[in-house]
Chains A and B, each alone.
Chain A
Amino acid sequence: MSVLLPAIVNGVVIGALFGLLGLSIVLVFRTTGVGNFAAGNMSMFASFIVFMVVVRRLGVGTRAGFLLGIVLGAVFGLLIYWVVIAPRSGWGHLNVTFRTLGLFALLFAVASRLWGDAEPYTVEGLFPRGTVNVLGLFVGYNQLGAAGVTAVMAAGLLGFFSLTDTGLIMRAVASDRDVAILIGIDVRRVELIAWTLAGALGAVGGMLIAPITLLGTDMMDLFLIEAFTAVILGGIYSFAGAIVGGLIVGVLYSVSGVYFNPEVQYVLSLFILVLMLLLRPAGIFGTARPVRV
């Protein structure tokens, strides 16, 4: 028990981060029908820009850098949409999904070229180092802060989708794209907002993860796989499901790490992914969608 409880707490924290990346994947998938394989490396790249260029080179403080990073992440998402995703996206979802795969490779290659020689880097997080006593457990400020920021982001997103007009429009596109076009919704604008938001979310995720795992070109690989699992677990279409799925995967990941070596952790998560896809492809929160013939 004395080992298990800290593992569960750690799992919740890391699971929140899986869920945050999952949110950005669901956001893009629901509104554009494209599985974003570059989600992890977009995060990685944005955090390299923030920590290596904005903070280290330009000497901006960590807190200002973090805020600037959110803006930079959004601009990054917007640019990716304009340059890579939007041009001739009529070639179809498969074509655009392949583009995200190309982006995955490109961002990794560019980051390795620019910063790969001396990686991984230790970076100063938004929160102070050290631990705090929570119910008799010692949890790092950075971990606690990451979980807190994720909760705020998730709540903000859910609020955005259920309370604002833009959110309503985005949900309309997500639930039926063709009908949304018919009633005069500007789908391109919705896609643009989705990618911009995904960029900002990714940057936040990366900036929270880098202080915990060290800043490196492959820092997001594990998170991408686990976020995929979380997304599937929550039903590919559900925002809340991505967060809950992330928490479940995070706790399982962390607890299995107590008993097994790290490789088994990877295998376990893949096992959950496949099992879930087989038993309940619609996920915990999803409902099976009928197929039109």
Chain B
Amino acid sequence: MLSAARRRVRPIVTGLVAVVVFVAIPLVANGYLIFVATVIAATAIATVGLSLLIGPVQPGGAPLALSFGQSVFLAIGAYGSAILETRWGINFPVAMALSAVLAGLVGAAIALPGTRLGLFGLGMSTFSLAFVIQVLAAGRLLGGLTGSNLGLPIKAVPVLGVDLASGLPLYYVTALLLAGALVVGGHLVRSRFGQSLRLIMRSEHVATAMGIRVIRQRVIMFVIASIYTSIAGALIAHASGIVTPESVGATKSVDLVAMVIVGGVGTLAGPVVGAVYFTVLSQLVSNLGQNSEIVSSLTLLIVLVLAPAGMIGVARDLVALVRRRRGHATDRTAQRQAGERAQPERR
């Protein structure tokens, strides 16, 4: 049984474990592993944002919002920070923050019309936008800024003599930002704002009747996800040392959606698990000189068909199963979960 005391202790334990892992990785890892850990943590910032945006979807239910074009914000973060640094000599944290502000504004500009479109419309227009941004990044029109197909190498400006934008310092910056993103996300979920979002997902009409400004709440969440993703874009770009149109291409949008779903949509831990799985997979496979897209898209399809709650959902079911086997038949959590599953599909 998960008593109130254990409920209070659990996040602290999880946090402690996370801190230990976070400090321990650089002690045992070489430069390459630190690079991989940085990319994982950065990617996780983007997937956490997207997971919050889509929300905890029930089977047959509607999401809060949708974006098949998160690579647009990866692009804003990556190109934005790279251009500010290499052109204007602005240092890395400030450049990242400025491009996050820009991403927030662009996110609002997309979400204001976008969230009124219905899901298919929003999915299609964000997907199209992702292609357009990739074409623009690769093309000659903005070639002076983006370096076209060759990409834009990043020359980071040190902060107070410390180069935060590569190697171990970048890893620490990224891990701290991920921790921040998770803490903020956790507060969002528990706050009145988060409650209103869940009510909107259950019934937009009830939410409207209760005085919740549905469009405004959706736009705010979209802006938050945009900011998260642009920060991820800036961090990944700095870890790689270069921004290319491919690195912020439309397929990256699909990858981010896949990570969120495979991990567990609507949760905070799920998208982190998804980011770990996909990044490690792509690194392992690319070391063999192959492309990991076949395995990753197959994983996505299998999860969607067999376990739509993702890896986190599977883990929860397993835990509940073990508890029941051990004779905790009266376990309220397990009962409640079983009850929720037994409920007929809501239409």
Contact = CB atoms under 8 A, between A and B. Distances in A.
Contact of B128 (A95, A98, A113, A229): A229
Q: Determine the main DSSP class of A at the interface with B.
A: helix
B123 interface: yes
B59 interface: yes
Report which residue of A90, A229, A264, A277 has the largest number of chain B beta carbons within 10 angstroms of its beta carbon: A277
A2 interface: no
B301 A103 contact: yes
B211 interface: no
A100 B175 CA distance: 33
A281 B308 contact: no
A270 B128 contact: yes
A293 B205 contact: yes
B118 A281 contact: yes
Given A91-B308, A94-B57, A261-B141, A277 B258 contact: no
A266 interface: yes
A161 interface: no
A37 B300 contact: no
Contacts of A93: 119
Contact of B304 (A90, A98, A228): A98
A61 interface: no
A173 B116 CA distance: 26
B246 to A, nearest CB: 12
Contacts of B139: 261-263
Given A92-B61, A281-B121, A109 B291 contact: yes
Nearest to B118: A281
Contact of B117 (A91, A104, A281): A281
A136 interface: no
A204 interface: no
Contacts of B296: 105
A93 B58 CA distance: 11
Interface of B: 57, 59-63, 66, 68, 113, 116-121, 123-125, 127-129, 131-132, 135-136, 139-141, 205, 250-251, 254-255, 257-258, 261, 291, 293-294, 296-298, 300-301, 304-306, 308, 345
Given A84-B301, A232-B121, A278-B116, 16 more contacts: A29-B120, A90-B60, A92-B57, A92-B61, A95-B59, A101-B257, A102-B254, A105-B300, A108-B293, A109-B291, A109-B293, A221-B131, A232-B124, A261-B139, A263-B135, A293-B205
14 contacts: A35-B124, A87-B305, A90-B60, A91-B60, A92-B57, A97-B119, A102-B301, A105-B293, A105-B300, A108-B293, A225-B127, A261-B139, A267-B132, A267-B136
Interface of A: 29, 35, 37, 84, 87-88, 90-95, 97-99, 101-106, 108-110, 112-113, 221, 225, 228-229, 232, 236, 261-264, 266-267, 269-270, 273-274, 277-278, 281, 293
